[in-house]
Amino acid sequence: MRGSLVSKCRVLIAVVGFALLSPLACALEVPEGPVILVVSGKIGLPNVGNEAHFDKAMLEALGQHETITRTPWYDGMTRFSGPLGRAILEAAGAEGESIRVVALNEYAATIPVSDFENYDVIFAMQANGKALRVRDQGPLFVIYPFDTHPELLNEEIFSRSVWQVARIVVE
């Protein structure tokens, strides 16, 4: 149901035009399960106060993208899956140039929104078919497609690969 609402809103926006549509026409539903991601800052589609809260089902409804890559944190090739970062930003109505991704332990990294436009960066919820738990760098782990884009193999991008993601601040 949630996925179909997002799809219907996207079609409606494409047909009618974003300027003519009220932001409330495509508002996010309120999460029914435990919140695992909070998006705040410059957003146009909040669902709890001035923030966008997402539970697991809401993130799954955004569609799951798969990235198979090597990382500095896992041995060999690993199959990660989760929503594309740009899908999360779109669902929240993000209007900024960068985001600050904050982990459960308050580690934070700033990521330009252009990374999400130029690459299929995901917020991984699974690794090799298993849900990422907090002890496994979950519930969400920013994963870049390192193997398909060798230019991403550098310390600057590695520092943006935040794990145990709890919140995003759109700046």
d(CA 18, CA 168): 24
Per-residue pLDDT at 141 exceeds 80: yes
For 29-170, CATH gives 3.90.420.10
125, burial (CB in 10 Å: exposed 0-12, middle 13-18, buried 19+):
buried
State residue 20's pLDDT score. Answer: 40
Per-residue pLDDT at 75 exceeds 90: yes
Cβ atoms within 10 Å, residue 22: 7
State residue 16's pLDDT score. Answer: 43
pLDDT tens digit sequence for 123-139 = 999 999 999 999 999 99
State residue 21's pLDDT score. Answer: 41
d(CA 99, CA 23): 21
Query: Is 25 or 156 the better-scoring residue by pLDDT?
Result: 156
d(CA 169, CA 39): 6
State residue 27's pLDDT score. Answer: 75
d(CA 59, CA 52): 12
State residue 26's pLDDT score. Answer: 64
Residue 86 confidence class, pLDDT cut points 50, 70, 90: very high
Predicted TM-score of the model (pTM): 0.85
Cβ atoms within 10 Å, residue 77: 11
Residue 80: name the closest of 127, 28, 32 by CA.
Answer: 127
Q: Where are the domains of the chain?
A: 29-170
pLDDT tens digit sequence for 1-59 = 445 445 445 444 444 444 444 444 467 999 999 999 999 999 999 999 999 999 999 99
